[in-house]
Amino acid sequence: MKKVLITGITGFVGNHLASHLLSQKEYEVIGTYRSESGLDSLGGIKEKIRLTRLDLQDAPAVEKVITSEKPDYIFHLAAQASPAKSFTTPVETMTNNIVSEFSLLETLKKNELTGIRVLIISTGEIYGMVTTTDIPVDEETPLRPASPYAVSKIAQDYLSLQYHLAYKLDIIRLRPFNHIGPGQKEGFVVADFAKQIAEIEKDKKEPVISVGNLDAKRDFTDVRDMVKSYELALQKGKSGDVYNIGSGKSRKIDDILQMLLSFSSKKIDVNVDHSRFRPIDVPEIICDCSKFHYLTGWKSEIPFEKTLQDILDYWRKIV
């Protein structure tokens, strides 16, 4: 069996990735987490994972874990992952995302662990303010970051490339576009919509849903499809290369809201709350995933309507 280390395993994507890898019955899964409060999110898979509490900004602690475990693969997922939050916590976002990666890369460099294959998760957000001529966005599209989060992920992306080039580390970079699914926390648009609808259905909130910019169009992929691409990237990706991951379709935020509202029997009004708007927002973005598709055959498969229904049902269970 291959030994896999997932940083940030209690996060939204880490949880789904761990579940997917365990279902393959080909991997021994080790996970790092930062806070005890997140462990409950692992549910029934918790007992199948070897868990280590770790502050990734603590370089000696990171070195101790990696050199003792010597995993075959590392999925580096741990990060401050909210573009919206990064506008209010830019220094924290930059420090957390960049310093944590330095700890990981320096350990691999210092101990000459070139046999460990590492997946660095960047983001489609790094393309930022794309023009209409850029769409669909491929890996050669110029970077025009529109949030501190995007800047931090550019740093992660290019930092890992530099370590690959200079120190021959076996690193693959992915740039996933928006991904959604059951288990995603507040602070992300679809989860926020679903939570409010679930609260209204249980009479915990007035029948009014507060929203931000409904005109933006984004490329959404179900997280359960997304984590399959992560596994394929480590299996088939070219060392040092970078790949966009997305559905290849854009969806207007207002259309997503209306679809979620159609799943509820409640009469719900919509209130546009300008405090929810970002200082700058990209009108539309669509992922060109052809490079990765030609390499691996991956494409998104879960119907969008099912994704939204599963998200709403998740919130109905927990509010």
41 pLDDT tier (thresholds 50, 70, 90) = confident
- Strand duo 50-53 + 2-7: pairing: unpaired
Across 251-271, average pLDDT: 97
Residue that is written with structure tokens 């159609």 in the block = 262
Whether 13 has a pLDDT exceeding 90, the answer reads yes
Please say whether the beta carbons of 180 and 311 come within 8 A. yes
What percent of the chain clears pLDDT 90, i.e. is strictly above it? Answer: 93
CA–CA dist 286, 279 (Å, integer) = 21
Report the chain's C-alpha Rg in angstroms. Answer: 19
Burial class (CB in 10 A: 0-12, 13-18, 19+), 63: middle
| φ, ψ dihedrals at 127, nearest 5° | -75, -25
Tens of pLDDT along 51-67? 999 999 999 999 999 99
Whether 40 has a pLDDT exceeding 90, the answer reads no
Query: What integer pLDDT is reported at residue 45 of this predicted model?
Result: 93
Please choose, from the candidates 72, 46, 33, the residue with its C-alpha nearest in 3D space to the C-alpha of residue 231: 72
Across the chain, the runs of DSSP E, i.e. the strands, are 2-7, 27-33, 50-53, 73-76, 117-121, 170-176, 179-180, 208-211, 217-218, 221-222, 242-245, 251-252, 269-272
Tens of pLDDT along 211-221? 999 999 999 99
245 bridge partner residues? 176
DSSP string, 146-162: -SHHHHHHHHHHHHHHH
Query: What integer pLDDT is reported at residue 281 of this predicted model?
Result: 86
169: alpha, beta or left? (left if phi > 0; alpha if psi -120 to 50): beta
- Strand duo 217-218 + 73-76: pairing: unpaired
Whether 43 has a pLDDT exceeding 90, the answer reads no
Whether 232 has a pLDDT exceeding 90, the answer reads yes
174 bridge partner residues? 121, 243
Query: What integer pLDDT is reported at residue 227 of this predicted model?
Result: 98
Whether 278 has a pLDDT exceeding 90, the answer reads no
Across 176-205, average pLDDT: 96
Across 128-156, average pLDDT: 97
Please choose, from the candidates 42, 37, 31, 18, the residue with its C-alpha nearest in 3D space to the C-alpha of residue 183: 42
Mean pLDDT rounded to a whole number for the chain:
96
Q: What is the DSSP letter of 266?
A: S
Query: What integer pLDDT is reported at residue 35 of this predicted model?
Result: 87
Tens of pLDDT along 63-120? 999 999 999 999 999 999 999 899 999 999 999 999 999 999 999 999 999 999 999 9
CA–CA dist 241, 173 (Å, integer) = 6
Across 229-258, average pLDDT: 98
Domains of the chain (ranges, CATH numbers): 2-180+221-249+291-296 (3.40.50.720), 189-217+250-284+303-318 (3.90.25.10)
Tens of pLDDT along 290-308? 999 999 999 999 999 999 9
What percent of the chain clears pLDDT 70, i.e. is strictly above it? Answer: 100
Whether 38 has a pLDDT exceeding 90, the answer reads no
